[in-house]
Structure 1
Amino acid sequence: MYRVLAIVSVLFIAGCSALPEQGNAKVVTEPTKQANSRPELPLVEPAQPSQARQAEAAQLSQLLENGELTDEQRKIALYRRGVVFDALGLPSLASLDMNRVLEIDPAMAEAWHYLGVFYMQHGNYNSAYEAFDSVIELQPNHDYVYLNRGLASYYDEQYELALNDFADYYFQEPSDPYRIAWYYFAAYELDAGRAEEQLRQQLEGVPADTWGGLVVRFLADKASAQELIQEAFSDINSHEDLVSRLCEAYFYLGKKAAMTGDTETALNFFKLTLMTNVYPFIEYRVARSELYKLRATLTD
């Protein structure tokens, strides 16, 4: 039994520290510019499933099949495999493992949180609210629960509730550009003019020479789409870094286009976001919700 426990511990630690492989894809150094100075949208190979994570999922599955685990060990192995499945873009398998974790330990806040994200991504907002409320009850200081409950409210078009949660998340770290961005998106739905004024004020606390800083400067019309795409290619060390940057760039270009009424352009940007396959990023997780929202607008 000690041997089994040791294996679970080693797998859990190794999994938390493992990085995706860089593969053989070449890193593109800069996008092509068209004659009209608008950057040509760069199309790069999507992120590839991590071989290390696939191997870890296989090892954990083998471990879970041997039947020698205690409930605590099984809970840890199931939770870790669920995390790996989620990172590999297999959310249904991840949710099955998280439900099995909760059968063993209904008080595990992280499993509730993963289920809440799963429900939010699939438009099951009532179940998402219940899951996130369970997280808050069990772990009120959870790092991301207010962000993700805010996302559920935002895509459920409960904008005041979303703004309240995004505000709680924002005030935990007011210099974080991504917290500012989501606060702005919810505020914009309630009062566009006031939201834009607040965004300009909040920008003052964000370093302008960072990638995230450029994202919110773009949202505030302080930087162009060309600058955003160009910067996505700067100081990149791997193909994975580049695809991750482009996942964010495409998404925020799409949000900006949608907010200015350019629905067709926004649809294309959100499709490009999904084509990156950067499964763990918020931008990837909600890009499909943005597509559904825009298509409903076109139908109306």
Structure 2
Amino acid sequence: MKWFRILGLSLVAVVTGCASNSSTQDQQWLNPPMAVPLQANVQYEVQVARLTQLLQRSDLDNDVRAKMHFERGSYFNSLGMRDLAQLDFNQSLQLNPAQPVVFNQVGQYFTQIGDFDSAYEAFDSSLELDPANSYALRNRSIALYYGDRIPLAIEGMTRYYQENPSDPYRALWLYIISRQASPSEAAITLNKQYLARNNDWGWILVALMLDQVSEEQAFQAILASSRDNNVLAERLTEVYFYLAKRHQIDGDYPTAVSLYKLAIAQNVYDFAEHKYAFLELTKIFEIVRAQQAEEAKKQQEEQANAEPSDA
């Protein structure tokens, strides 16, 4: 990308501005487009304090207390306090286990920390309680993808996509998962879906994935159409995540790492793209460490097999 200069050869990459170039267009993108990172919502903090006080009452029945724990957990989640949110969700389920929405939240948490078996169990519970829960179906498919259970992930995401084929985000995730089985077929399918697109803003993300628009054009469109800082932060979170995924697919890990960090930097905690950017970074670092370990092993073997020179 024109906006990044990667220092060193390792993945300890930092965003430092654009690479030097004398053209006016490159100078225009001296730094990557950024919104003012979203700050903690004061109203959410007030609600957390209010619910904390109410939960201290001894006259609440279990159903009311369960709802309060879920509500406070949801506020914690939106404030980026996922561990506190998880504690509240667990307490809510202990009081009332018949809550598919809470199981869906718990499943996302387990996916983020890489505990995929627990994630599958939570999403299965959510779908058993509410078979029409599309969010649980999507999130379980994504968890299966990150857990390397690709056939099941494709099956679930295909069902989710078929519920609303005009949704660009469903098309994107179906492509991301399906390409693990057949990259060329997944690309052909995504291109057909793009040609039949509607006016939903999210199709520009599909265009980026397919390289149908340049990165400059995409960012110019975002900056021109996002006057509100919150909207700008949300759209940048999405575009940085999916652009990072494209570079990751191409094997450009340094650029992907920088872009995932930018997706995180907008502080849009509620978005799946923010949540899964952490998981993507972990997977990249694991791949790179494995590659480095393999290279070091080969070097040791070469040195051990080298014949001493006859001086």
Q: TM-score range by the shorter chain?
A: 0.7 to 0.9
Rg larger for: 2
Match of 2:94 in 1: 103
Q: How far apart are residue 36 of structure 1 and its match?
A: 6.3
For 2:234 and 2:201, the matched residues in 1 are separated by 12
For 1:43 and 1:218, the matched residues in 2 are separated by 18
Unaligned runs of 5+ in 2: 1-20, 291-311
Match of 2:36 in 1: 45
Residue of 47, 53, 60 corresponding to 1:69: 60
Residue of 176, 197, 214 corresponding to 1:206: 197
* Segment drifting more, 67-76 vs 83-92: 67-76
Answer whether contact 2:209 2:246 (CA < 8 A) is retained: yes
Answer whether contact 2:37 2:265 (CA < 8 A) is retained: yes
Q: TM-score, normalised by structure 1?
A: 0.85
Q: TM-score, normalised by structure 2?
A: 0.82
Match of 1:277, SS? coil
Match of 2:214 in 1: 224
Letter in 2 for 1:216: V
Letter in 2 for 1:139: D
State the superposition RMSD in angstroms.
1.6
1:247 matched to 2:267: no
For 1:158 and 1:231, the matched residues in 2 are separated by 36
**1:167-178 equivalence runs, <5 A:** 167-178=158-169
Match of 1:270 in 2: 260
Residue of 273, 293, 304 corresponding to 1:283: 273
Q: Sequence identity, in percent?
A: 33
**Deviation per CA, 1:220-248, whole angstroms, max 9, x where unpaired?**
22111112211221222421111111111
**1:12-51 equivalence runs, <5 A:** 35=23, 37-38=25-26, 39=29, 40-51=31-42
Pairs aligned (count): 267
Q: How far apart are residue 44 of structure 1 and its match?
A: 3.4
Q: How far apart are residue 179 of structure 1 and its match?
A: 0.2
For 1:237 and 1:134, the matched residues in 2 are separated by 41
Q: How far apart are residue 45 of structure 1 and its match?
A: 2.5
Unaligned runs of 5+ in 1: 1-33
**1:121-136 equivalence runs, <5 A:** 121-136=112-127
Match of 2:129 in 1: 138
For 2:264 and 2:153, the matched residues in 1 are separated by 23
Answer whether contact 2:110 2:116 (CA < 8 A) is retained: yes
